[in-house]
Amino acid sequence: MNVAFLVNDLQLSGGVGVVVEHARQLPRHGIDAVLVLAREREDPDWRFRGLGEVEVLSLSQARERRFDVALATWWATTEPLFELDAHRRAYFVQSLEDRFYRPDDPQRLGAALSHDLPLDVVTEARWIAETLEEIRPDLRALLVRNGVAKDVFASPAELDVRRTEPLRIVIEGNPHVWFKGVGEALTAVREMREPRHVTLVTGVRDVDTAGADEVVGPLAHEEMAALYARTDVVLKLSRVEGMFGPPLEGFHLGATCVVTAVTGHEEYVEHGVNGLVVDWDDPRGTSRALDLLARDRALLHRLRCGALATARAWPSWEQAGTVMAAALREIARRPEPAAAPAAARAIADVRAAIEAQALVVGQRDRLRYRVVPLERLDRVVDRAPLRWLLAPLRRIWRRVRPT
Amino acid sequence: MADWQERITRDTKPSIRVEHDLRYAAAAPFVAGAATWCDLGCGTGVAAADALGDTALSRVVLVDADAGALDQAGRDLQAREIVRVQADLATDEGVAAVRAALGDGEPGAITCFEVIEHLKTFVPLVGALVELAEAGWTVVLSVPNDAFWALENPYHETMWGEGAFDELRRLLPAGAVVAHQVPLDGSHLVVEGHDGPLELPPVTPRPDAVPSHFIAAFGPRAGELASRALAIPSDLDGRRTWERQRESTLAVLEAELEELRENVRWSSDEIARLNAQLGSRSS
């Protein structure tokens, strides 16, 4: 059996890392896996673990092969998916990607429409599987949770009790990505009363990092593991997540977490057992939760022990690879999803988008109608004979007129 | 301390044996009338014999990787024909051997209790079970909820829990029937001179009870899987013997370990001393 995973690029991202891990696990189960780049390489590839073990093809190279199963891994890769010659096509859904875009962003519609396609679905989180099954009642999504590299995020046999040092907090994510909540996390640590040491892990530097004691990154997995081993708390206030990996990786090294109730957290975060779940838009409450952990070292240790226990029960990449292999064989075995319900869904969604666009155009036309008199006035004010007379008025008008 | 009893024998403690007995009892309705019953990972067949010893069976296919266990299995069953297959169910060859033993006759029932977690890969087995169910076989399988206790069982190749079971469930046919097995706590009071079994009061399942095992049945008769409970008296005497034996063995092993550590320390010091001597002579 041979499979192709379509990726947009091989730049640093959790999603691409997951695909690379699956691709390198599959040969153990008699499945040849290749990565297909949906667009030309513009930047050098990130040094993903095991990337060298996996064959990478350009789209034109992949078009010359036949695959048993081809999978899109990002909404934009669903289009080239249909250019490949494959017995079955499927979609490895790692998040509902329309949520990555603001409501007025046209790419949001593109991402949402990709879920209408007549494709089998493999996903990494139960909330995604259940949501997609609500959207597509004909769908039976296959679930393959992401594994954790147990050799890299190697758990200690037991945890040291940390009684006196400042609370060591890690905030991870790109501050430019609105839904990662990095700014909110920095606000929360700034408002803490208790001693702490805050490490911000990010690849970007042109941002306000007030609240962080150090800024590091981008970091390889080994470096992240070493950092988590020194960490008490992973603080993550994301608004959109798929499987929500970073706190789980922290768990493996005995770091508890303070998180929002973001999608994916319900898979492994238990409030008061292995972490603390804080409210949305509540930097003050988050600060108090962190202060509590800084003061109450018995609670901190209990949550860290709970986190380590959760980590021990989480599957390795080897186990995740086994489930992925079974899922791919199941996709190859199943009949192809029917096209008619997919077409009906797509048409309904496009129609909804057309109606939404019509509303926007109507609002724009009404605004234009109301602006016409103002534009006339603008032209009058700009006429040469009146310029000198109306100069003071013009200055005010230029300040307030619509642009 | 965790108590790893992967092979059920007559000496296995009652709390573990009753779990196995109940699973076979739950499968008994499928097994009893089946033209062929296949027990994957049958072990010594103790639990199956407890549940099905009095049942007249047709053709029985017993499968295990361990030849010794397989040899004992089936001795207490009343079967028209018993076929024993030694096979590694993690391999395509092992699964093919089982399929060959099942033959092309009338489909029957397959039990696969506490097997999947022992396999290096369950891909060939799960694929085959799904295909057999489509061909008319009824399959009942179970996996343990190790993840709840974060138990790192040295005999288990994969970690099972609610999430892992959901992954498995989505690989099975859509109509699969799922059951959660939950341990019971109990006690009985017997007046001197009483003889015969005791009636137990009805057990009200707790909706939020954490299961010890997850069960799935699929295939044409899967809907017949019924809720049930089973109780057998604890063997406190046996348990005490077993636990004392384990504690004493552990104490001996710990003493041996300490002795070995002391030897290693002495050897390391001696090597360091000799190295230092060599160093001083060469200089």
Q: Which residue of A has its CA nearest to B147?
A: A313
| Facing residue for B152 by CB, picked from A145, A312, A330 | A312
Residues in chain B with CB shorter than 8 Å from the CB of A322 are 121-123, 158
Q: How far is A262 from chain B (nearest CA, A)?
A: 18
Restricting to B residues 53-82, those with a Cβ less than 8 Å away from any Cβ of A are none
In the predicted structure, residue A49 carries a pLDDT above the cut 80: no
ipTM of the complex: 0.82
Quickly state the pLDDT bin for B129 (edges 50, 70, 90): very high
B166 and A143 within 8 Å at the Cβ level: the answer is yes
Name the amino acid, one letter, at B60: V
The DSSP annotation for B150-203 comes to T---TT-SS--SHHHHHHHHHHS-TT-EEEEE----------TT--S--PPPPP
- pLDDT confidence tier of residue B50, bands split at 50, 70 and 90: confident
Taking a contact as any Cβ pair under 8 Å apart, which residues of chain A between 120 and 179 contact chain B?
Answer: 126, 129, 140-145
Tokens 């001795």 -> residue: B75
Which position has the higher pLDDT, B180 or A41? B180
Dihedral (Cα; B146, B150, B152, B157), 10-degree rounding: 50
Which helix (H) or strand (E) element contains residue B78?
strand B78-86
Q: Which amino acid appears at position B13 of this protein?
A: K
On the CB side of A222, CA atoms within 13 Å amount to: 3
Q: How far apart are the C-alpha atoms of B189 and A132, rounded to whole Å?
A: 53
Q: Do B167 and A144 touch (CB under 8 A)?
A: yes
Q: Is the peptide bond before A218 cis (omega within 30 degrees of 0)?
A: yes
Distance from CA of B281 to the nearest CA of A (A): 42
Q: Where does the pLDDT of residue A334 fall: very low under 50, low under 70, confident under 90, or very high at 90 and above?
A: very high
CA distance A306 to chain B (A): 10
Chain B environment of A269 (Cβ under 8 Å): none
Note whether B170 contacts A142, CB cutoff 8 Å: yes
pLDDT digits (tens, 9 = 90+) for A85-118: 999 999 999 999 998 888 888 899 999 999 999 9
Q: Is pLDDT of B139 > 90?
A: yes
Secondary structure (H, E, C), chain A = CEEEEEECCCCCCHHHHHHHHHHHHHHHHCCEEEEEECCCCCCCCCCCCCHHHCEEEEHHHHHCCEEEEEEECCHHHHHHHCCCEEEEEEEEECCCHHHHCCCCCHHHHHHHHHHHCCCEEEECCHHHHHHHHHHCCCCCCEECCCCECCCCCCCCCCCCCCCCCCEEEEEECCCCCHHHCHHHHHHHHHCCCCCEEEEEECCCCCCCCCCCCEEECCCCHHHHHHHHHCCCEEEECCCCCCCCHHHHHHHHCCCEEEEECCCCHHHCCCECCCEEEECCCCHHHHHHHHHHHHHCHHHHHHHHHHHHHHHHHCCEHHHHHHHHHHHHHHHHHCCCCCHHHHHHHHHHHHHHHHHHHHHHHHHHHHHHHHHHHHHHHHHHHHCHHHHHHHHHHHHHHHHHCCC
B203: CB partners within 8 A, 6+ apart: B184, B229
The Cα A331–Cα A70 span in angstroms is 10
- Note whether A126 contacts B163, CB cutoff 8 Å: yes
Is the CB of residue B152 less than 8 Å away from at least one CB of chain A? yes
Is the CB of B208 inside 8 Å of chain A's CB atoms?
Answer: no
For A205-242, write each residue's pLDDT tens digit: 888 999 999 999 889 899 999 999 999 999 999 998 99
Cα(B145)–Cα(B148) distance, integer angstroms: 6
* Shortest alpha-carbon distance between residue A330 and chain B (Å): 7
B171:A314 CB<8 A = no
Question: Amino acid identity of B236?
Answer: L
pLDDT digits over A386-402, tens only?
A: 667 777 777 777 777 65
The one-letter amino acid at A171? I
B212 CB neighbour count, 10 Å cutoff: 18
pLDDT above 60: residue A318? yes
